[in-house]
Amino acid sequence: MNINEVARLKKREEFINEEQYIIHVDWDGPYTLDQLTELKTEKVDTGVYQIYGNHPIYGADILLYIGKAICQTFGVRIAQEGWDRNSDVKGLKVYVGRLAGNSTPSDEIWTKEIDLAERLLIYSHSPARNSQCIQNIPNKDLLNVHILNWGHHRDLLSEVSGARWTNKYDDMSNYEVYGEHT
């Protein structure tokens, strides 16, 4: 076994042994802006959300925005953004994503997971009206984040991985197609 093969095996072993940070998001919707006022249970009605509507360049019924509601409900947070002034307000559709798992984590971890999920979802889907998180993805925070979207996640990918969307594997100097060099 030569030095390149040893390095490749070591890198593969490091990947297999890395701890993955898995975030489950259970999506529900669509809701109209008026229906969001019903989502007012603290903590339960927090998480990430996606808004669909018409865009003058990209067309009808497309993903416009991904956001987060932390320390306030979806209804309160989304109302603050001025979507009610949108020219297609009656055509807007909102999907809400609540984090899920075996048990409810501490507020600190829950808040961190909502933030990580929003940032990786924005970066990997590039919604038409989001400007944050699209240009630069903070690789250090998201390298081992893996999001699983469940329920009515609409146009979002079922799975999104920081391993794919960060620069984690940009430097693969020993990368070879299997069987190419024996």
Sole residue written with tokens 């990580």: 116
Mean pLDDT value of segment 99-117:
93
pLDDT in tens, 110-126: 999 999 999 999 989 99
Determine the pLDDT at residue 102.
93
Percent of the chain whose predicted confidence (pLDDT) is above 70: 81
pLDDT in tens, 49-93: 999 999 888 888 999 999 999 989 999 999 999 888 878 888 899
Q: Sign of dihedral through CA atoms 48, 120, 137, 104? A: positive
What is the pLDDT of the chain when averaged over all its residues?
A: 85
What whole-number distance in Å separates Cα of residue 159 and Cα of residue 22? 10
Determine the pLDDT at residue 65.
95
- Tokens representing 78 are 């989304």
Domain positions in the chain: 16-165
* pLDDT for residue 12 is more than 70: no
Strand order in the sheet with 59-69: 59-69, 47-55, 93-100, 21-31, 145-151, 159-161
pTM, two decimals, is 0.83
Q: Sign of dihedral through CA atoms 13, 15, 21, 24? A: negative
Is residue 98 very low, low, confident or very high in pLDDT (cuts 50, 70, 90)? very high
Determine the pLDDT at residue 177.
77
